[in-house]
Structure 1
Amino acid sequence: MQFDPTLLETYHTLLQTTDLQKAYQEWLRMFRYLRGALEQQLPRYRFQGSVNENGMDYAYFSFADSLLKKNGLKLVAVFVPERFQLEVWLSGVNRVAQCRWASRLGSCPPPMECSSDPARTDYLVRLPVEADLADGEAVVQAMKHAVEQLLALLSLQ
């Protein structure tokens, strides 16, 4: 198996000439804090055990209460490194549930974005979260607000 030597050298250079490793560790500390704080402040929800990192495409953790779970839905806190953006996603527990809900949801107000193909995406609706990532409590409150906005789309409450 062959690997791209230019990309490997770029990574090596970044590690030697920047604080990439420390910056990543700090970001991960913030995202883990977010998960723990949301778990404490949203006690009716069950949270996935850990933060999942997906090859720097995005990192996430999911959570759901009994009503969401019963309806085949979950919420997902997501960080998209490419855009350096936090988001909250409303997702199906699987693609079948997600497609079933997509046909029921209809449109969503901006800045929410409905999936154009719920059979191929990991979300039904995604909502960007605006907050200063250095201010942990502000991030937690902004995420909670985004959760409330997404839940308002559903007629489950």
Structure 2
Amino acid sequence: MTFDRDLLEQYHQLLCTTRLADGYGEFVRLFRFLRVQMEKELPDHTFQAGITENAMDYSYFQCTCPALKSQGLKLTVVFVHRTFSLEVWLSGYNRAQQCRWHEQLRGLPFAMAQNPARQDYILRVPVPEADLGDGDGLVQKLRDTVALIEDSIH
């Protein structure tokens, strides 16, 4: 198996000439804080054990509550690295649930998946005015975004 030496060298140079590793460490610290605080803020929700890294495409953690779970739905708090944005996604427990709910939720004012059978969400909502330096403010904005989605589907 071969690998792209130029990309690996560029990565090496970034690590040597910037604070990339420090910045990424700070991001992980922030995202873990958000997951822990959201679990405290939403005691009726069940959260996955930790955060998941997805090759710097996006990082996420998931949660659900009895009302969502009974409908085959879950929420995912997502940080999209390329756009440096925080979002909340509504997803199904499986692709069949996603497709069924995608049809039912089509009229909502959120960004809908183009193809819920191939995408990891039914709909996605950006967290408004997300100041990544304000952890407590982010928790409140996340909580408000979660409530907005849950209220919209009930």
The answer to whether the 8 Å contact 1:107/1:114 transfers is: no
Q: Which residue of 1 aligns with 2:42?
A: 42
* Unpaired runs of at least 5, structure 2: none
Q: Secondary structure at the match of 1:149?
A: helix
Q: Deviations over 1:27-71 (max 9, x none)?
A: 000000000000001000000001000000100000000111111
Task: Percent identity, please.
Answer: 48
Q: Which amino acid aligns with 1:120?
A: R
Q: Secondary structure at the match of 2:91?
A: strand
Paired residue total: 153
Alpha-carbon distance, 1:153 to partner: 2.0
Task: Name the CA distance, whole Å, in 1 between partners of 2:153 and 2:11.
Answer: 44
Task: Name the CA distance, whole Å, in 1 between partners of 2:76 and 2:90.
Answer: 6
Task: Name the CA distance, whole Å, in 2 between partners of 1:70 and 1:113.
Answer: 24
Structure 1 residue ranges, 4+ long, deviating more than 6 angstroms after superposition: none
Q: Which residue of 2 aligns with 1:132?
A: 131
Task: Name the CA distance, whole Å, in 2 between partners of 1:75 and 1:48.
Answer: 11
Alpha-carbon distance, 1:152 to partner: 2.1
Residue 61 of structure 2 corresponds to residue 64 of structure 1 = no
* TM-score normalized by the length of structure 1: 0.95
Alpha-carbon distance, 1:150 to partner: 0.9
Task: Name the CA distance, whole Å, in 2 between partners of 1:75 and 1:133.
Answer: 20
* TM-score normalized by the length of structure 2: 0.97
Q: Which residue of 2 aligns with 1:55?
A: 55
Q: Which amino acid aligns with 2:143?
A: K
* Unpaired runs of at least 5, structure 1: none
Q: Which residue of 2 aligns with 1:87?
A: 87
